[in-house]
Amino acid sequence: MRVVVEHLEECLSPWLMSEYSYVVKLFGEKVVFTNVRSSQIRDALRRLGASTTELSIVDLVTVGEVVNPIVLDPKARETLQPEDLEKADAVVIGGIMGEHPPRGRTYREITSRLAQRALSRNIGKYQLTIAGAAYVLKRVSEGYRLELLDIRFGLRFTTTVGGYEITVELPYAFPYEGAKPVLPEDYLEIIARKSLLYESKPACVEE
């Protein structure tokens, strides 16, 4: 089973790169980044150890390279179960930076375009990050049911960046292990720095 990340953002910001890196950390060579039109971004993603293609998941299904995909879509009526993955040859995660409130981009840009050619499943009632969705998928693929996972809404933290103390609140859901949220390496620092440095100057490729 491949893990397909449909890249749907114009830029590959440090925040997005952190999310993508975590997906590859979990699934390794099974990860394919699709819809990557920029050669510069394709090169950056290949350095993570994943495959990339200019084709979208819709293209891959149309040509028969992917036959039984599941789209992780917050708007889906049914929740992902371990048995759903038994026949799937790909699970699709939207490469979308979250918005609050959610605007249904996964449904609009992926699910609806695949029509009846894919199953769609949610992974809970809250919007997760890309990394969070990948973690939940990993656990479900190991046989865990969603109701057994500890998923909490909202994350608030305070840190110091460049001599400034800032507080950041994230309106997304995060899986927890023990008392700690499951996050990519340096995630909080990257988000804190984004608050100061990246808002008006998005970086299209992580250097």
Instruction: Tell me the per-residue pLDDT of 28-44, one tens digit each, with 9 for 90 and over.
Output: 999 999 999 999 999 99
In the chain, the N- to C-terminal Cα span, in Å, equals: 31
Placement of tokens 């490469």 in the chain: 95
Range name among 10-14, 27-31, 174-178 with the lowest pLDDT average: 10-14
> Do 146 and 140 meet the contact criterion of CB atoms below 8 Å apart?
yes
Given a cut of 80, whether residue 162 has pLDDT beyond it is no
177-194 confidence digits (pLDDT tens)? 999 999 999 899 898 887
Could you give all domains of the chain from N- to C-terminal order, each with its CATH number?
Answer: 2-144 (3.40.1280.10)
pLDDT at residue number 201: 46
Q: What is d(CA 205, CA 94) in angstroms, rounded to the nearest whole number?
A: 18
Q: What is d(CA 44, CA 52) in angstroms, rounded to the nearest whole number?
A: 10
CA nearest to 120, candidates 102, 132, 136, 107: 107
Element (H, E) at 42: helix 39-46
pTM summary value: 0.92
Q: What is d(CA 4, CA 140) in angstroms, rounded to the nearest whole number?
A: 16
Q: For the chain, what is the radius of gyration of the CA atoms?
A: 17
